[in-house]
Chains A and B, each alone.
Chain A
Amino acid sequence: MTTTVSPPRVPSDPAVRKTQRPKKAVGIRYGLMERLAPYGYVAPFFALFLVFGLFPLLFTFVVALFDWNPVGSQTFIGLDNFTRLFDDPRFWNAAGNTLSIWLISTIPQLFIALLLAHLLNHARLKWANFFRMSMLLPYITSVAATTIVFAQIFDRDYGLLNHLLELLGADRFDFRNSVLGSHVLIATMVVWRWFGYTTLLYLASLQAIPRDVYEAAAVDGASGWKQFVHITIPSLRPVIIFTIVTSTIGGLQIFTEPLLLSPQGQFSCGAVRQCQTLTLFLYEQGFGQFAFGYGSAVGVVLFGMIVVIALINFLLSTRIKGAQ
């Protein structure tokens, strides 16, 4: 074990000793190195964050004010990128698609995860580990692989789903080339990927509820459904808000699915941009058209949306805390 930690005392340098100052609580003298050490431990993160996180974020705001061509010229144009953006039907189309995909993925995912967590939260459930593990399989499958498989399953001519539809007497449906169909296709992939993970988060929360609460409810004759409505859902409220926020921020980032559904060399996700998301639009402008300034303007708008979501989240959670 690690119990015999008694390294020889490092003889401290008298110069260093002068700077030592006693800690009230512990009564140990710390050398200069010891007092600086914590900064060293957190330094790697902050160094990387400054270079690859904060600086690019701030610089996005700068680039957005320019007509910025990576191999050509950079001209300061003020807010022109934004006025152009808000007049651009492609931007509003991408925003609408992102919202629609978010709605039809988040809501079903929530209900499925709630139901499954409630079902898994049973003291006497058999094969509990099998159920939990299988629900994490989609999470370890890459979005790229997921898209390839689901695009095949939903394919108009050769897809399994359309074959089933035909067997049931329905018409074949071209998911990829319809607006709603392509949104449903992408939302299905998002739900498939995340519902198990969300279920596990809810389950962890549920297991923190003492058993006697359910026991008392059962003794009082509350049915499974009543227990679900009156015990399960209220105690999950904070974690539900948390998952809604993360799924919203995640929803703004949907990129790989619509990219892999786009025809080769295009970033439009179909002929009428029926499933182009905001992040894919950013990529198309930045790296397809090399309009770094215009693409960065999309990034700034995305940032604004995230700030609004974070504020709503903050207000909601303080209100809930206040109510309790």
Chain B
Amino acid sequence: MTQQTVPAAVTPPPTRRRSGGRVGRVRWWTYAFLLLAALACIFPLYWMFVVSSAGAGSASKLPPVLVPGTDLPRLVELVFTTVPFVQSLVNSAVVATTIAVGQALTCALAGFAFAKLHFRGRNALFIIVVLTMTVPSQLSVIPQYMIISELGWVDTLQALIVPGLASAFGIFWMRQHISSTISDELLQAARIDGASSWQIFWRIVFPIIRPAAFVLGLLGFVTSWNDFLWPFIVLKSPEMYTVQIAIKALQNNLFVDLGLAMAGSFLATLPLLVVFVFVGRRMVAGIMDGAFKG
């Protein structure tokens, strides 16, 4: 097979249509509304920082202090001494990273199988995947807890990790993406060369869809980092807490300082904000790309 034919067979990722959008002059009030919305999104996060840094008892001051102070180190130290917060940051990082990598791989592989491979029962299995998306797992938390308890996983991190390693949404998303970005001719050419589907996935498909798998992993990371109900049910001892449960524990200590839970929330949000600064644009593009378009 010649090298030249193959790049032609790769359908370029569909260029986002620039056409989108109304034309004509943008009115001033368009900016006014959008700016207001942006402020509404930013302000609560700013407020979190203000209260966590404005000093002892500032949360109870009247009129409220509106600018950040210099007391952040004291409250951060208080957070670290009230609950094992560093440990909970580590726990959250371990859980969220494992889930992100696991989801990106399992969903990409399954999405590839559903998009490009032919096997008996494929459509029926895919319908099952889609159906599972509509049933939230919350309603069966009681039997889920029984299973975890039977496995002896109560109060362990694998109780959070293992159930989250694959996601129906992720499979659906990757299938759409692989269908639209990878041409059948390319895969057939590789088939004729005798490549197995496993080799095709790793050498051809995965390098092309890596950006999409990255965004999917990112969404998995954020969801897992922010999850509350399930860790709240299975985690018992403070050393196993994820950051979200640590926030709840800090909230129980409100009598220490009203700013304590705010400082904890700020610390729990900060890692995601840092990540967001670097990859936020790709997340926006990923969400809009995965969006179902009528």
> Which residue from chain A places its CB closest to the CB of B289 in the assembled complex?
A204
Chain B residues with Cβ under 8 A from A5's Cβ? 190, 193, 195, 199-200, 203-204
Q: Is the CB of B34 within 8 A of A120?
A: yes
Contact of A201 among B18, B142, B287 (CB under 8 A): B287
Number of interface residues of A (CB under 8 A): 123
| Cα distance, A171 to B191, chains bound together (Å) | 74
Chain A residues with Cβ under 8 A from B247's Cβ? 142, 144-145, 148
Known: A140-B276, A149-B44, A211-B19. A158 touches B251 (CB 8 A): no
**B176 contacts A by Cβ under 8 Å:** no
Nearest CB in chain A: distance from B60 CB, A: 5
Contact of A142 among B3, B62, B193, B269 (CB under 8 A): B269
Contact of A144 among B129, B268, B283 (CB under 8 A): B268
Chain A residues with Cβ under 8 A from B294's Cβ? 205, 208, 235-239
Contact of A44 among B64, B165, B243 (CB under 8 A): B165
User: Which secondary structure characterizes the binding site on chain A?
Assistant: helix
**B152 contacts A by Cβ under 8 Å:** no
> Which residue from chain B places its CB closest to the CB of A302 in the assembled complex?
B139
Q: Is the CB of A158 within 8 A of B59?
A: yes
Q: Is the CB of B30 within 8 A of A1?
A: no
Number of interface residues of B (CB under 8 A): 125
Beyond known contacts A63-B142, A138-B44, A239-B293: 15 more, CB 8 A cutoff: A2-B204, A2-B207, A28-B192, A41-B201, A45-B129, A60-B139, A123-B21, A135-B38, A136-B287, A140-B222, A142-B243, A292-B142, A302-B138, A303-B139, A306-B134
Closest 6 A-B residue pairs measured CB to CB?
Answer: A207-B20, A145-B265, A123-B21, A142-B226, A56-B143, A204-B291
B residues apposed to A, CB below 8 Å: 1, 3, 6-7, 16-27, 30-31, 33-34, 37-38, 40-42, 44-45, 47-48, 51, 59-64, 106-107, 109-110, 112-114, 117-119, 122, 125, 128-129, 132, 134-147, 149, 162-163, 165-168, 171, 188, 190-201, 203-204, 207-208, 222, 225-226, 228-229, 232-233, 243-244, 247-248, 251-252, 258, 261-262, 264-266, 268-269, 272-273, 276, 280-281, 283-284, 287-289, 291-294
